[in-house]
Amino acid sequence: MTRINLVPPSELCDQHLLAEHRELTRIPNAVAKGRFHVNGQPEDYKLGEGHVRFFFNRLLFLKNRYTLLHQECLARGFNVQNRWPDTLPEDAALWQDYTPTATALAANRARIAERMPQKARFTPHQDTQPQTNIHPHQP
């Protein structure tokens, strides 16, 4: 299974965030190796059969999504590597973007809720700014 969610990465539990970060690159890697086809590609976002095929020509969406996922992982303090492939075809037809519809977002949120782990973790963002004392010590 390869999951591509549509909700902002900040809404994902740790388990779903890390899994999507790991799985999303399967699609551009398949494109880079020429192991893909768009025959029978669904016109709209869907879950289940056709889910991966929907994204084969939406590499811009996937690249932007992966960047957001990676940034969210780092913000939560996870030690992750950027695994976006360096060698992808430059064919403009493959580099389409995608704007999720309200229907697609609702379906995605329902699936996330359905598959939410019983002990879902939501690691807060790690504070990367040095602590400053708002009320300096007064003698």
Positions marked active-site: 23
For the residues of 29-41, what is the DSSP string, one character each?
Answer: HHHHTT----TT-
Joined together, the tokens standing for residue 101 give 């519809």
Distance between CA atoms of 122 and 12, rounded to whole angstroms? Answer: 8
| Identity of residue 105 | L
